[in-house]
Each structure stands twice: as C-alpha cells, then as structure tokens.
Chains A and B, each alone.
Chain A
Amino acid sequence: MIKVRGLNKEFIQGQERTHVLKGVDLTVEEGEFVAVMGPSGSGKSTLLQLLGGLDIPTEGDIVINQNKLSIMSEKERTIFRRKYIGFIFQNYQLLPTLTVEENIAFPLHADGSLTKEKNQTILKLLDSVGLKDFGQKRVNLLSGGQQQRVAIARALVNSPSVLLADEPTGNLDRNRAEEILGLISRFNREKNQTIIMVTHDIFAAGFADRIILFKDGVIDQEASRKDEDYAKYLANFMA
C-alpha cells in the first residue's frame, strides 16, 4: 500500500521558487492500477519522482509497504528502490549498445544478484513480453514498441511490488500503445503489482482502475471504475 500525506515540493532556482506540489494526499491500495493525468506543469511527473525516491519532498510523507521514505538516507533510498520499485519511461532509457538480455539483466548487475535462477527469470520475461527470439539483439536495432517491451521486462526483473510509469506510450502510435498498455495491465492482474502511470492520454488512462486528475499541484478530480457499475454499463452497451 502507498500512503502519501501532505506532500509538498518546491523547486528553487536563483530567486525563483516554483511550488509544484501543494499538499497532496493519496492512498493507493496494493494491486491497484492508477493513472495520473493533468496538464504540463501540474505536478504529475514530480509526484512519480518522489514516489520512486528519485527526489525528496519539501514537506510531507510517503510510505510504501510500511517504508517511510522521508526518514531514509540516500543510500537507503537506493536500496529501497532496487527492492520495491520498477520504472518505465517514455524514452525507454535503455543502453543502446547492449543486447536485449543485457539490458534486462542490468538492474541485477547493479545489486550483484545475477544468478542462474535470475537468468531463467529473464528468459521467462522475454517470452511474456513477446520478445522470445530477440534476446541477443542489440536494442538500438529494435522498433519503439519493442524497446518499450524491453524496458517493461527490465522494470519487472526484480519483481518489484510497485511499477511507476511516466508516459510509457508517449512515443508510440495507438496500436503499439494499446499492446504495451495491455501488457502492463496483464502484469497488474497476474502479479498483483501496484501501478502508478502518468499520462496525458485519456485513451491510455482508460486501462487503469482509477484516474486522478492533477491541476496546479493538487488533485482536482478523480474517478474509479467499480465492477457493479461496469456490469450495468455492459448491459447498456450490449443492449
């Protein structure tokens, strides 16, 4: 479970202060898939950075699986990140000269946990993202959609309980985007991974269980899909 309370973030550049998050409260249940939307500068990507422990808040608390981020040292946050968090970015952030398998294994090299068993995990992941025969290919030879699949496999290699995705389909056309989102929601269902996805695209946000709209650093609107409403909806649509 993720609990965010009174989250504030200010950026100071010279004389100028920018108050990006202004007291955000948010609870995300284990296994929930939440999409965060809002215009540029509304604070949605900053929220993701703070949740991933990549930056620290000016004020407020973030608790993920009973770990309070605000009392951790930088080193502790790095260990926490490796253990609990997977990241997916819009521009994939892969190492272009390495192979697909090497990219997926990269987080394991970083914490020295690459074992034979983990090698099996990599092969399974490759299969589940539809890249079974691409393991030895260099990633810069792959299409955008394929690169994002590699990035998803890399994000999942440590079996993180939380997946943070920042515009994961921002560089892809609708069809490729749909495949990637289908993949992300499948992992959400099958592995009960908590997913927080920032997107500007309502089409992508539709895959979530809950959509949160940010405006000027605060939560402006939210909507949840409830199974009992869905059943009514289904009946209406099919009528």
Chain B
Amino acid sequence: MSVKYGILTLLYRQKNHGYELKLELESLLGIKGKINPGQIYTTLDRLIRDQFVLAAGTDDQDRKFYEITTEGKKELEIWLLEPVPYHSAKDDFHFKWSCSRTIGFEQEQKMLDQQKAMIMKDVMDLTKLKTEILLQGDESKYLLINGSLLRLEADLNWIHQVENRNRS
C-alpha cells in the first residue's frame, strides 16, 4: 500500500485538505484510524516538492487545500499501468485496482492485461524454482512455493472474474 498514490488518487477526483484526505484514504483502504496524520502531511510535502501537488489556497476554516498537477496525474497513470510483480512488498494489485476504479480510469483493461502477463511470468519462474528445489529435496521451500503458486492462481481467477463482470 502506498500513501503517495492513495493521495494522488483522491486528489485526481477533486482538490481536498489534509484531514479529509486521511479519512478518505482510510476508506479507500478499508481501514479506520490506522493512518497517522503526520504520514499524510509528510507525503503531501514530498508531493509538493516533486511538483505532483500544489497548495491551492485555504477554506473558510483556514484549512489548506491541495490540488493535483498535470505531472501528478501523469505520475498516477504511469503507476496504475505498471503490473505488480509477485515478490513486490511495496505494492498490492488490489489497492492499485481500487485506485483505478476510484478515478474511473479508462485504461483498466490494459492494467488487467498487463497484470495477467505478469502473473503468467511469475508462475513460470516459480514453477522452475519449484522444480529445482524439489530436486534438491527441500520439502519446506517446495511447499512454500506451491503456496505462492496457489495465490497467483487465485489472483488470475480474480482478474478473469473482473473481466467477465466488466463484459456483462
């Protein structure tokens, strides 16, 4: 899960202030009270420094508004279209897909296609690894890899379900 891309997703829809961003991000992630407000403001500062976000005035309660820039939108779209490798600890495809749904991303099918290709490649790599480990007789590692393969299979089935429901 990435606070950076969560914030960019929310600002893609509309400009907002920090506290509201924290609440909406928790709602996007399905967790409540888990994000430290400090994390939101540090990330916003970094996004301003990188010119992905602008400070855009204040509201009547003197709360600072933030707005996404064209560069910020581009940054989010590039991230959405990057397939997530199995071993990536920093990203989760379900979170990415939720972000794409939140902003009504037009290239959702491309995202799904690329993720499918990534899963297929991961499955081939893991199967090769599994075969080698089996020859070495390491039963525990073999079973762990099979567990990972089953998760990838579930991910692929889930993408097929999304595609089927998108079609119907």
- A: which residues have CB within 8 A of B? 182, 185, 202-203, 205-209, 211, 213, 220-225, 229-230, 233-234, 236-237
Interface string of B92-126 (1 = CB under 8 A from A): 00000000000000000000010011111111111
Q: Interface-forming stretch among B3-11, B64-72, B149-157?
A: B149-157
**Do A205 and B123 touch across chains, with their CB atoms under 8 A apart?**
yes
Contact for A209 among B113, B124, B134, B152, CB less than 8 A? B124
Residue of B with least CB distance to A211: B120
The answer to whether the Cβ of B87 comes within 8 Å of any Cβ in the partner chain is: yes
* 8 A–B pairs (Cβ distance < 8 Å), ordered by A: A203-B127, A205-B120, A206-B149, A207-B131, A221-B116, A230-B129, A234-B125, A234-B129
Taking residues whose C-beta sits less than 8 angstroms from the other chain, chain B's interface range is 20 to 34
- B: which residues have CB within 8 A of A? 85, 87, 113, 116-129, 131, 134, 149-150, 152-153, 156
Residues of A within 8 A of B131 (CB): 182, 185, 207
Known contacts: A203-B153, A233-B87, A236-B87. The answer to whether A208 contacts B124 by CB under 8 A is yes
Known contacts: A233-B87, A236-B87, A237-B87. The answer to whether A202 contacts B120 by CB under 8 A is yes
Residue of A with least CB distance to B132: A234
Residue of B with least CB distance to A224: B121
- Known contacts A206-B123, A221-B116, A222-B120, then 16 further A-B pairs from the complex at CB < 8 Å, ordered by chain A residue: A182-B134, A185-B131, A202-B123, A206-B124, A206-B127, A211-B123, A220-B113, A221-B117, A221-B120, A223-B118, A223-B121, A223-B124, A225-B125, A233-B129, A234-B125, A237-B126
